[in-house]
Amino acid sequence: MATKLAGALDKYGYADHWAVNAWEAECKSALLKHVQKGDPVDVAAYAAFCWSRGWTTTPADGHGPFLYPVESSQEIKDILGMMVFECSPIAHGFQAAGYDIPKRVEDEQAFVLHWLLLIALQHGPSWREIAAKRLNDVLQAAKAQASDAETEMPA
């Protein structure tokens, strides 16, 4: 690791940039970049920089270390290939359940694609089954809300 760090000092001209404490956000960003890149030596180096200064490895923006893959999986391709007419009925179910989704097809499609991508990135090939179950729960909630609204209406 020491050899690689010394080489980076020369190659990128970092000089003593690593010795100052004003680069926490940059260090955390580089750590996550190298995790995704798959270089354990660089990951260890950036983790060591964080550790030596008492920084956590949580990204500076406060969000968890959620990484979007460099290579597209079949799950991602399937989701990003969904057409508006496939996404709109799903979005309408969420809207009926009380989710605040603007009633523009672009916004509906974006909501659904984002929702499905999060599931696929967390669960891989089983994303369809998990999404179907979650969607069913949303639709049941929408149905219950509609039923409650009907019983509350004066005759």
Nearest to 99 by CA among 147, 145, 52, 62: 145
- The string of pLDDT tens digits covering residues 129-155 is 999 999 999 999 888 888 877 766 665
Output the pLDDT for position 35: 81
- The string of pLDDT tens digits covering residues 76-125 is 999 999 999 999 999 999 999 999 999 999 999 999 999 999 899 888 89
Q: Where are the domains of the chain?
A: 2-53, 74-152
Most confident region among 21-25, 49-53, 109-113, 124-128 by mean pLDDT: 109-113
- Average pLDDT of the chain, as a whole number: 84
Amino acid at 90: I
Give the Cβ contact number of residue 94 at 10 Å. Answer: 20
Q: Could you tell me the pTM of the whole model?
A: 0.58
- Contact, 20 vs 52, CB < 8 A? no
Which two tokens mark 29?
Answer: 């960003």
Which two tokens mark 117?
Answer: 């991508």
